[in-house]
């Protein structure tokens, strides 16, 4: 062990060794992995080792597919057997809703290029797994690339391959301290002190402690997880093939063959946390005693699904801990305010996701950004609110218990809520508001009569008519929307304009004006679809998505230059928007004169007793205003505007209506049409780029795309012949039998009375009038490419 390394990985499990391997393979040879015990100690050694390419997040599914393709390579590179058994796998559905969901999921996987899966009948499932009872099974989905690995062998294969690329590994050497220095980090270990530029926390069950060494509180918690290994099953001895990996969603179990017995794993509803503050340092190869009483219901269902278990004994019980994040996805990436500190934590499916995590993190460290869009596992998706122990326990427990429970797109889950609420939350709740949550903040979805309960559904829910009325109220009269759920960054200082001009790809707005502002990475990928306000007094605002606050703060900090002060005012400054033809009338009733703001204008004005910041813009496609006030004035502003618009048809609305209204205008949103996986040209955001600027981040890549062959895919608007269900995202788009794209988002346009979807399709199929088709909830529906903005294409309404 030397005294200096470029990067030090802490943790010798499957994730740590994968990170080490990828760093060394991509060119960083001067890297070290430190393990407090020996490789695999912790969770890796007792993991079930299952692998499959399917995941509800398509971007993570792609990384899982990468991991599966990588495994034979590291076996070959290292010379270490990984015990790969590619048996194929089945996911089973036992209720009509689940079967419908599985058919829809099958199409989603097609959208992202996972073509080795197909739907199967109960009879086929029984033939593929002869020891399984098919009672109650309605159907299933088969995937070729499913199976399992020898977990210990796989970790040692990653480690061996990493060492062949020049990396070092030191075992039996616990990290005692982490101290930030001017050039990186000082890593104090039992065997000496190391200086390094980068530290990677891949400590698994000890991630919490390794985070705290750097002053970081990570939202992770271990939970216990059971599986059993049976004695030999005579029926398996008679087969000349291995039975496939099988997930019984209604039974809360997964199964794979283990020699001539089976391994049966259980995600029980009655979950159990273990060592919430992290495992003891001396822990490594221990297990908790099995708790059959706690898992009794799921165990019974498992034994009924596989009747042969009732005739043989249990050879081994495993009840060991794995680390989970609030949403079950990994925590990966750089930590804001801690340069050189990287996370690779909470990878509860390490043998499935470890390869993709290692690849993405190594690319991020070496090249500045990963190839894939990894926001779904970016550590910055959680803020300070997620450090609360009760929040962590509630949300991680909820995820674990719902691991095999179907979650509907319109379903709101209760864990960790309500946490952050806008000041007018109670008054809005009394008015019938139904809430969703984003980044810990409650957001209004719609306003319903007392006693109304929305039914979770893959189809149009029983809230459909309520949302329709809210949408029509905006088009007809005026809608009032709480806009606390947007981020607001205040930018001041002598170099504020110069800095903004380099960070944003657009032309900056003049005094008293606002402008839509794409923000690009060095590779020309989108980093934000923001709005920049120039208030004319030396103060600028950047507005964006509330849940991207930490993500954007990290980006701003990493690219900060000059004498600039950036302040996150998102919780201190809140507000309401007015949208609809009567918006100006309402606003003029509470101001001391006519409102003369031009379209995309902004300024300070007195609204009642409130000194407010007001911008004239709206994503509904109607005349509209955003009125910003302090948090202390939020309740008063709402009452003032409702009273002023009482005889003008004012109606409170939620974000579900906003979805319908913006689709009718072909307006995209982040995490759907706009992500860091897409370029400005693909999504149409290039129309906001100021090509005359000589220097902005991402200019070289954007110009190359503009002057080259252009994007392979383009964002289009589809009119869909839907029936009772609308597209929501990642449904495949077809030209005959050829997949030509996928839906980014969709819904029903209540003004036009039609179902719409925005989709990224091959440029050859992007022309208006092109006939295509889309699978919605598993059923193919005809679709046509139409001109953008089916409602008010000339934009007269919002410019009125």
Query: For 331-387, how does the pLDDT look when each residue is reduced to its tens digit (9 = 90+)?
Result: 999 999 999 999 999 999 999 999 999 999 999 999 999 999 999 999 999 999 999
Instruction: Please give, one letter per residue, the 3-state secondary structure of 373-438.
Output: CCHHHEHHHCCHHHHCHHHHHHHHHHHHHCCCCCCCCCCCCCCCCCCECCCCHHHHHHCCEEEEEE
Q: How far is CA 184 from CA 199, 343, 364, 635, in A?
A: 8, 15, 17, 47
Whether residue 120 is contained in a domain is answered as yes
The helix (run of H) or strand (run of E) holding residue 194 is strand 192-201
Summarize the confidence of residues 396-409 as an average pLDDT. 94
Percent of the chain at pLDDT > 90 equals: 96
User: Quick check: helix, strand or coil at residue 557?
Assistant: helix
Q: Confirm if 514 and 598 have CB atoms less than 8 A apart.
A: no
pLDDT at 357: 97
- Residue 1, C-beta contacts closer than 8 angstroms, at least 6 positions apart: 32, 168, 170, 173, 191, 192, 194
Cα(701)–Cα(245) distance, rounded to whole angstroms?
A: 44
Query: For 669-681, how does the pLDDT look when each residue is reduced to its tens digit (9 = 90+)?
Result: 999 999 999 999 9
Task: Give the relative orientation of helices 350-367 and 14-25 as an angle to the nearest 10 degrees.
Answer: 40
Tokens representing 119 are 């739907």
**What is the DSSP code string of 226-244?**
EEEEE---HHHHT-SSPPP
Closest residue by Cα to residue 774 from 708, 730, 709: 730
Cα(533)–Cα(543) distance, rounded to whole angstroms?
A: 8
Q: How far is CA 376 from CA 357, 360, 421, 651, in A?
A: 12, 12, 24, 35
Summarize the confidence of residues 708-727 as an average pLDDT. 96
Cα(765)–Cα(787) distance, rounded to whole angstroms?
A: 13
End-to-end CA distance of the chain: 70
Query: For 139-152, how does the pLDDT look when each residue is reduced to its tens digit (9 = 90+)?
Result: 999 999 999 999 99
Whether residue 56 has pLDDT greater than 80: no
Whether residue 57 has pLDDT greater than 90: no
pLDDT at 62: 83
Whether residue 468 is contained in a domain is answered as no
53-57, 91-95, 121-125: least confident range: 53-57
pLDDT at 501: 98
Cα(290)–Cα(317) distance, rounded to whole angstroms?
A: 6
Whether residue 485 is contained in a domain is answered as no
Query: For 70-95, how does the pLDDT look when each residue is reduced to its tens digit (9 = 90+)?
Result: 999 999 999 999 999 999 999 999 99
Cα(35)–Cα(103) distance, rounded to whole angstroms?
A: 44
* Count of structural domains, the chain: 2
CATH of the domain at 301: 3.50.50.60
Q: For the chain, what is the total number of helices (H) and then of strands (E)?
A: 19, 37
pLDDT at 43: 96
Whether residue 643 is contained in a domain is answered as no
Percent of the chain at pLDDT > 70 equals: 100
pLDDT at 604: 97
**What is the DSSP code string of 700-738?**
HHHHHHHHTT--SEEEEEEEE--SS----S--EEEETTE
Which of the listed residues 349, 367, 385 is the one where a domain comes to its end?
A: 367
Cα(725)–Cα(122) distance, rounded to whole angstroms?
A: 26
Query: For 229-255, how does the pLDDT look when each residue is reduced to its tens digit (9 = 90+)?
Result: 999 999 999 999 999 999 999 999 999
Query: For 614-653, how does the pLDDT look when each residue is reduced to its tens digit (9 = 90+)?
Result: 999 999 999 999 999 999 999 999 999 999 999 999 999 9
Whether residue 405 is contained in a domain is answered as no
Cα(356)–Cα(370) distance, rounded to whole angstroms?
A: 10
Query: For 576-588, how does the pLDDT look when each residue is reduced to its tens digit (9 = 90+)?
Result: 999 999 999 999 9
Summarize the confidence of residues 96-110 as an average pLDDT. 92
Q: What angle do CA 794, 796, 800 make, to 5 degrees?
A: 165
Paired with 59 in beta bridges are: none
CB-CB neighbours of 456 under 10 Å: 13
Query: For 762-782, how does the pLDDT look when each residue is reduced to its tens digit (9 = 90+)?
Result: 999 999 999 999 999 999 999
Q: How far is CA 326 from CA 336, 415, 629, 670, 797, in A?
A: 19, 9, 32, 21, 42
Summarize the confidence of residues 589-608 as an average pLDDT. 96
- Produce one character per residue of 488-523: b if its CB has 16 or more CB atoms within 10 Å, e if not: bbbbeeebbbebbbbbbbbbbbeebbbbbbbbbbee
Summarize the confidence of residues 408-434 as an average pLDDT. 97
User: Percentages helix, strand, coil for the chain, rounded to the nearest 5?
Assistant: 30, 30, 40
pLDDT at 463: 98
Q: Confirm if 631 and 423 have CB atoms less than 8 A apart.
A: yes
**Whole-number average pLDDT of the chain:** 96
Query: For 555-569, how does the pLDDT look when each residue is reduced to its tens digit (9 = 90+)?
Result: 999 999 999 999 999
Cα(424)–Cα(632) distance, rounded to whole angstroms?
A: 10
User: Quick check: helix, strand or coil at residue 444?
Assistant: strand
Whether residue 484 is contained in a domain is answered as no
Whether residue 286 is contained in a domain is answered as yes
pLDDT at 58: 76
Q: What angle do CA 482, 483, 488 make, to 5 degrees?
A: 155
CB-CB neighbours of 371 under 10 Å: 15
Which of the listed residues 367, 383, 411 is the one where a domain comes to its end?
A: 367
Cα(666)–Cα(339) distance, rounded to whole angstroms?
A: 39
Query: For 736-769, how does the pLDDT look when each residue is reduced to its tens digit (9 = 90+)?
Result: 999 999 999 999 999 999 999 999 999 999 999 9
Whether residue 560 is contained in a domain is answered as no
CA dihedral sign, ordered 688, 691, 694, 700: positive
pLDDT at 113: 82
Question: Which residue is associated with the tokens 């159990």?
Answer: 272
**Residue 764 belongs to domain spanning:** 668-786
Query: For 438-476, how does the pLDDT look when each residue is reduced to its tens digit (9 = 90+)?
Result: 999 999 999 999 999 999 999 999 999 999 999 999 999
CB-CB neighbours of 382 under 10 Å: 22
CATH of the domain at 711: 2.40.30.110
């Amino acid at each position: 062990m030397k005294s200096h390394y470029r990067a030090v990985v802490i943790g010798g499990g499957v994730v740590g060794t994968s990170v080490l391997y990828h760093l060394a393979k991509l060119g960083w040879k001067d890297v070290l992995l430190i393990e407090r015990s020996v490789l695999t100690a912790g969770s890796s050694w007792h993991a079930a080792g299952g692998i499959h390419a399917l995941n509800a997040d398509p971007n993570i599914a792609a990384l899982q597919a990468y991991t599966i393709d990588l495994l034979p390579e590291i076996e070959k590179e290292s010379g270490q057997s990984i015990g790969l058994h590619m048996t194929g796998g089945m996911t089973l559905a036992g209720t009509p809703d689940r079967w419908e969901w599985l058919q829809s999921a099958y199409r989603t996987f097609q959208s992202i290029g996972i073509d080795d899966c197909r739907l199967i009948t109960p009879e086929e499932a029984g033939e593929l797994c002869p020891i399984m009872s098919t009672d109650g099974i309605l159907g299933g989905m088969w995937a070729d690339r499913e199976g399992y690995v020898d977990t210990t062998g796989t970790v040692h294969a990653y480690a061996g391959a990493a060492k062949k690329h020049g990396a070092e590994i030191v075992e039996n050497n616990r990290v005692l301290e982490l101290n930030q220095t001017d050039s990186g980090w000082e890593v104090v270990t039992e065997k000496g002190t190391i200086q390094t530029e980068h530290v990677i926390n891949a400590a698994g069950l000890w991630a919490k402690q390794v985070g705290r060494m750097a002053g970081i509180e990570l939202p992770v918690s271990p939970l216990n997880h059971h599986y059993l290994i049976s004695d030999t099953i005579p029926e398996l001895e008679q087969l000349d093939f291995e039975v496939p990996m099988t997930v019984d969603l209604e039974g809360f179990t997964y199964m794979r063959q283990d020699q001539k017995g089976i391994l049966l794993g259980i995600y029980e509803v009655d979950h159990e946390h273990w060592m919430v503050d992290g495992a003891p340092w001396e822990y490594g190869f221990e297990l908790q005693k099995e708790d059959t009483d706690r898992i009794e219901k799921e165990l019974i269902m498992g034994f009924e699904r596989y009747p042969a278990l009732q005739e043989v004994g249990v050879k081994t019980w495993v009840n060991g801990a794995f680390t989970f994040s609030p949403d079950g996805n990994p925590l990966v990436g750089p930590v804001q305010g801690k340069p050189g500190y990287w996370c690779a934590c909470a990878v509860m499916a390490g043998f499935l996701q470890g390869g993709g995590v290692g690849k993405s993190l190594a690319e991020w460290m070496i090249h500045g950004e990963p190839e894939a869009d990894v926001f779904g596992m970016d550590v910055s998706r959680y803020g300070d609110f997620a450090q609360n122990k009760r929040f962590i326990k509630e949300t991680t427990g909820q995820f674990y218990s719902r691991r095999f429970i179907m979650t509907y797109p319109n379903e709101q889950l209760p864990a960790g809520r309500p946490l952050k609420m806008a000041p007018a939350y109670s008054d809005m709740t009394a008015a019938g508001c139904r809430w969703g949550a984003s980044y810990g903040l409650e957001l209004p979805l719609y306003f319903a009569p007392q006693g109304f309960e929305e039914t979770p559904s893959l189809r149009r829910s029983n809230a459909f008519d309520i949302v329709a009325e809210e949408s029509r109220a905006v088009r007809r009269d005026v809608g009032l929307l709480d806009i606390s759920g947007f981020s607001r960054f205040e930018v001041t200082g002598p170099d504020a304009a110069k800095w903004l001009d380099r960070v944003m790809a657009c032309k900056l707005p003049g005094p008293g004006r606002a402008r839509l502002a794409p923000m690009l990475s060095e590779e020309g990928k989108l980093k934000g679809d923001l709005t920049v306000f120039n208030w004319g007094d030396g103060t600028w605002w950047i507005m964006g998505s509330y849940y991207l606050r930490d993500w954007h703060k990290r980006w701003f900090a990493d690219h900060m230059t000059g004498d600039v002060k950036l302040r996150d005012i998102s919780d201190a400054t809140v507000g309401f928007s007015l949208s609809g033809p009567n918006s100006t009338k309402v606003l003029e009733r509470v101001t001391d004169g006519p409102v003369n703001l031009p379209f995309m204008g902004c300024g300070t004005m007195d609204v009642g007793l409130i000194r407010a910041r007001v911008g004239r813009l709206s994503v509904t496609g109607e005349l509209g205003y955003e009125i910003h006030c302090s948090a202390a004035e939020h309740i008063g502003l709402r009452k003032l505007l409702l009273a002023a618009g009482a005889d003008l048809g004012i109606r409170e609305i939620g974000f579900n209506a906003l979805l319908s209204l913006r689709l009718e205008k072909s307006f995209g949103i982040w995490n759907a049409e706009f992500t860091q996986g897409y370029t400005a040209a693909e999504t149409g955001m290039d129309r906001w780029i100021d090509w005359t600027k000589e220097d902005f981040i991402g200019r070289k890549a954007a110009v190359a795309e503009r002057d080259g062959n252009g994007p392979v895919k383009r964002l289009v608007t589809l009119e869909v012949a839907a029936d009772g269900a609308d597209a929501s995202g990642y449904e495949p788009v077809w030209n005959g039998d050829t997949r030509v794209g996928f839906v980014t988002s969709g819904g029903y346009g209540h003004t036009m009375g039609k179902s719409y979807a925005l989709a990224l399709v091959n440029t050859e199929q992007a022309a208006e009038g092109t006939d295509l088709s889309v699978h919605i909830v598993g059923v193919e529906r005809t679709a046509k490419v139409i001109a953008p903005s089916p409602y008010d294409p000339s934009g007269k309404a919002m410019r009125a």
